[in-house]
Amino acid sequence: MATYKELTDKRLLACAAFVSGGGIVCDVGTDHAYLPCYLVKNGICKRAVAADVNPSPLRAAKENILKAGLEESIETVLSDGLDGLSPKGVTDVIIAGMGGELIADILGRAKAFYSGARFILQPMTKPERLRGWLWDNGFEIAAETACKEDIYYTVMFAKYTGKNTCCTVAQCYIGALKGNTDDDKGYILKQAERLRKKGEGMKKSDPSSTEAQEYLRLADVLEEYIKQG
């Protein structure tokens, strides 16, 4: 079984790179607790909370924490999102490996954490929904980075400012990605490919579909964003 020493997962390392480490790091949906073990063992933070809604992953988390000898620094908590956790001293919240809509739902119920913590978010699906939710609910996406392993992933670093941001649908697909690395470019082009496929599929069954036109237009906008550098 992998331990903190073997953390080579680019996706989790990209999450770790956004951690401020100023105080307690809460890893929501921790599963195996690889990330909090890595963060504490490498001195990126002193204390962490490994939380999960399901008892079985939490057992795996506890085993890994014990194996790493980190039981004094990492607390495990059975919790739905951040519901069962105290915001006191929490500077970083990580929510990785879940759907974009579930992440938005967890954030929507976590207002007590807004003023003290930064949020590191790694949606597996519907990233555009999560970005739209963040901008509609007073969050700024301060930075975002894409990485490729078996597939492309994106990791966002968001902060609550209380100010909503107007955005276009295309911006919801691009987020704060600058498109200046191969992985950023690859990720955005993959989104464009997805949209084009969807649009073309819809157009086949209904050539006058306005929804299909919109998907194809979005694919064009994303490809143009990459072309313009």
Ligand X SMILES: C[S@@+](CC[C@H](N)C(=O)[O-])C[C@H]1O[C@@H](n2cnc3c(N)ncnc32)[C@H](O)[C@@H]1O
What are the residues binding ligand X (CB under 6 A)? Answer: 12, 28-31, 51-54, 57, 80-81, 96-98, 102, 106
* Angular region, 31: left φ>0, alpha ψ -120 to 50, beta rest: left
CA 205, CA 162: separation in Å to the nearest integer? 43
Q: Which is nearer to ligand X, 153 or 225 (CB)?
A: 153
Q: Which is nearer to ligand X, 53 or 143 (CB)?
A: 53
Shortest reach from residue 26's CB to ligand X, in Å: 10
Shortest reach from residue 102's CB to ligand X, in Å: 6
Q: Which is nearer to ligand X, 12 or 48 (CB)?
A: 12
CA 140, CA 104: separation in Å to the nearest integer? 14
Shortest reach from residue 55's CB to ligand X, in Å: 9
Q: Which is nearer to ligand X, 106 or 107 (CB)?
A: 106
CA dihedral 229, 218, 191, 126 (to 10 degrees): 130
Q: Give 136's DSSP letter.
A: H
Q: Which is nearer to ligand X, 49 or 218 (CB)?
A: 49
How far, CA to CA in Å, does 8 sit from each of 28, 63, 101?
Answer: 20, 20, 27
Label the pairing between strands 74-78 and 90-99. unpaired
How far, CA to CA in Å, does 162 sit from each of 129, 138, 151?
Answer: 19, 4, 34
3 state DSSP class of 50 = strand
Q: Which is nearer to ligand X, 81 or 199 (CB)?
A: 81
First to last CA, the chain: 42
* Angular region, 225: left φ>0, alpha ψ -120 to 50, beta rest: alpha
